Structure 1
Amino acid sequence: MEYVQERIATLHDLGDTAGDTVVPGGLERDPVAETAVVVPMTGRELESPAAERVLSELEDVEPAAVFVPVRASPDRIEPFREWLESFALPIRLLWCNAPAVETLLADAGLAGRAGKGHDVWLALGPAAEAANYVVVHDADARSYEADHVRRLLAPLTMEFAFSKGYYARVEQGQLYGRLFRLFYAPLLRALSESHDAPVLGYFDAFRYALAGEFAMRADLARRLRPPREWGLEVGTLGDAFDYAGFAGTAQVDLGSHEHDHRAVAGETGLEGMSREVAAELLRVLEEHGVDPEYDRLPTRYRAAGRELIEQYRADAAFNGLAYDPAGERDQLERYADSIASPGPDRRLPRWTDAPITPQAVVEAARPRLERPVDSAGGD
């Protein structure tokens, strides 16, 4: 049984010793009633089996609030509202691309590209106002369990300020978690060969740094500066490093996850995501004293990646899993093109410094139905 600690506190699921009670074993109180959960979605999550499971499981948790920032076309937002209201949850739907939201942000000088990071940011301000703790997780985990929220919250009751989930990504008889295994991990390994900044040790301590499941005190939620699209997870780690550091950070074993899978190639696939992740990771590292040698870094990354591929090959064979080293090397080459100096900093501001209020977001993001006027002049 594995119980190895990292530079950050690592809370394992040690089987029967952890207990299967409502509150994880050893904790004196359940913080869920003081918690707002943020579950970002896009139009494709409407009535999807994974999102349906997530919301159904949350019904057993009974948090103080569930914020669902949704990016969807106008014709889908009303079906989204009706579907969300079918769950016995205190759901607060935020229509992230509503015309009123776009106007609010433009007037505040915050217009720009928008995606997952933008949508989560819109929810973080209201969530931090509504509760003492904020949990963020995706809606695409087909293996989601209500217990995950309490596990993420557990470190916050033990005086940690930030908690991140980790889990195995073994599905359909093969290894997944490709962007983490084949891009994030070898890139950090390559950078660590010539740099010893503490932030590198912090980033390397997370067993699944790109996991979308994390929890934090409301005060930290107000201080996150998310990138507008992808890269939210590594950007959050940078802010957590500044706020909580090694001593105030924990990671929690969430078992095994089964997620929806993305294609590798193209801007909407892992290849496109790697560019956003690289830009955010390298920006954070530069801010904390790392000076990457960009002319040599891709070569070092490829070498580190090839070493890891041989390790993954051995691990897969040991466990009787299918493994395609040629395909993994192809991904390595695709991701290598993402390694470059980050462009302009387009992160959104901390809510502590934002030129708009959480209440203004809630009002602007509320779906408004267009109802026909009664021809007889009635109300």
Structure 2
Amino acid sequence: MEYVQERIATLHEFGEGDGMRNDLARDAAAAVGETAVIVPMTAREYESPAAERVLGELERLEPAPAAVFVPVRAAADEIGPFREWIDSFALPARVLWCNAPGVDALFAEAGLAGGFGKGRDVWLALGPAADAGGAVVVHDADARSYEAEHVRRLLAPLTMEYEFSKGYYARVERGRLYGRLFRLFYEPLVRTLADAHDAPIVDYLGAFRYALAGEFAASARLARRLRAPRAWGLEVGTLGDAYEVAGFGGTAQVDLGRHEHDHRAVAGDAGLEGMSREVAAALLRVFEEHGVDPDYETLPERYRAVGAELIDQYRADAAFNGLEYDPADERDQLTRYAESIAPPGPDARLPRWIDAPFAPADVLAAARPWRERRVGSRSQD
């Protein structure tokens, strides 16, 4: 247990007392009723144990959230059963079919056709969510350890006049360290840039204890000002915009304990190797926008050197805690991830919702699944 503060407010779970102070707990609980929750999914999460747990925990919130948006990419023959499954939960839930023909047409007409992924899905829900509540909470659906209390904990800083709240947690499972893309790519790359550049944005992005966590809360005002990368750069892009809107003083991070997530393979476009390219592009774009000019010729080599130092530290930490650790495998990941370090290329981020070429109501209409709501459904349309 520790109580170290970063450049942003860091709210720990000390394990002492009965949790949040009564007035803060009351304010955070009340805020739930004025909050829209976004839970992005893919069709593979249909009836998965982790997603079932997440939705079941959301049912336990009192009061219920103002709205729950579930953006999903699914084939035409999958969307009906998926929506029936979502309808089976006692939630004010609305499914947004992110690859519906109407959504594709809406993007094409607005000149926004192109790449898609998690960032595009969440962005589709951000506009409607910001209209539905005074705050927005976003979290993934693959956490097998998810608890309803996480929503209240993420919202607590917003009741204390912070505007952006990011979750962090330990990724230790089955006797091993996980969180590999953060530990072995994001963290050493940010440290490498911090060694060469004295810039506030470097300090800000280095202050997050798990910058790639999918869990955050934001005021509706801030949510409307997020420019989402279309795929796996979402979390980093969100931090860049949070810096501009909330800054150090308006940002907090909240201890969410220990999370157990699904795990990806390292190699290939669908693995962490592919994700690292999108994270790198988003991260380096944020740095460049805020006056940091990386030396791309030497950056990969310097990154590997910093990463090697971290691997020595992880090996010591794992041994101290009796965990399995394979430094050769981790060094191999450094080599793979180093190939992702390059100038970010064209900016394909989606616009802020305050500048969007269509309204949230247009998204709700375009992303509506083709099937009519079944009689007796608990969800709201």
Q: TM-score scaled to structure 2, two decimals? A: 0.95
Q: TM-score scaled to structure 1, two decimals? A: 0.96
Q: Which residue of 2 aligns with 1:141?
A: 143
Query: Is this contact kept in 2: 1:24–1:151, CA < 8 A?
Result: no
Deviation for aligned residue 1:20: 7.0
Secondary structure of 2:257's partner? strand
Deviation for aligned residue 1:219: 0.5
Q: Which residue of 1 aligns with 2:313?
A: 311
Q: Which residue of 2 aligns with 1:301?
A: 303
Secondary structure of 2:193's partner? helix
- CA 1:21–1:332: 2 relative to 1, 3 Å: same
Query: Is this contact kept in 2: 1:23–1:29, CA < 8 A?
Result: no
Residue identity matched to 2:257: G
Q: Which residue of 1 aligns with 2:56?
A: 56
Q: Which residue of 2 aligns with 1:272?
A: 274
| Separation in structure 1 between the aligned mates of residue 248 and residue 143 of structure 2, nearest angstrom | 28
Residue identity matched to 1:16: E
Deviation for aligned residue 1:15: 1.1
Deviation for aligned residue 1:25: 4.7
Secondary structure of 1:135's partner? strand
Establish whether residue 112 from structure 1 lines up as the match of residue 108 from structure 2.
no
Query: Is this contact kept in 1: 2:34–2:65, CA < 8 A?
Result: yes
Query: Is this contact kept in 2: 1:100–1:364, CA < 8 A?
Result: yes
| Separation in structure 2 between the aligned mates of residue 64 and residue 278 of structure 1, nearest angstrom | 35
Q: What stretches of structure 1 of length at least 5 have no aligned partner?
A: 371-379
Deviation for aligned residue 1:21: 8.5
Secondary structure of 2:204's partner? helix
Query: Is this contact kept in 2: 1:18–1:24, CA < 8 A?
Result: no
Q: Which residue of 1 aligns with 2:376?
A: none
| Separation in structure 1 between the aligned mates of residue 189 and residue 76 of structure 2, nearest angstrom | 40
Residue identity matched to 2:6: E
Secondary structure of 2:255's partner? strand
Q: Percent of counterpart pairs with the same letter?
A: 74
- For residues 135-175 of structure 1, the C-alpha deviation after alignment (integer angstroms, 9 at most, x for no partner) is 00000000000000000000000000000000000001000
Deviation for aligned residue 1:89: 0.1
Residue identity matched to 2:58: L
- CA 1:22–1:95: 2 relative to 1, 3 Å: farther
Query: Is this contact kept in 2: 1:180–1:208, CA < 8 A?
Result: yes
Query: Is this contact kept in 2: 1:24–1:150, CA < 8 A?
Result: no
- For residues 62-120 of structure 1, the C-alpha deviation after alignment (integer angstroms, 9 at most, x for no partner) is 11100000001111100001000000000011000000110011011111110000000
Residue identity matched to 1:114: F
Moved beyond 6 Å, runs of 4+ = 20-23
| Separation in structure 1 between the aligned mates of residue 297 and residue 153 of structure 2, nearest angstrom | 42
Q: Provide the aligned C-alpha RMSD in A.
A: 1.4
Secondary structure of 1:15's partner? coil
Establish whether residue 41 from structure 1 lines up as the match of residue 45 from structure 2.
no
- For residues 312-339 of structure 1, the C-alpha deviation after alignment (integer angstroms, 9 at most, x for no partner) is 0000000000000000000000000000
Deviation for aligned residue 1:193: 1.0
Q: What stretches of structure 2 of length at least 5 have no aligned partner?
A: 373-381
| Separation in structure 2 between the aligned mates of residue 70 and residue 26 of structure 1, nearest angstrom | 33
Q: Which residue of 1 aligns with 2:338?
A: 336
Deviation for aligned residue 1:16: 3.0
Deviation for aligned residue 1:29: 6.0
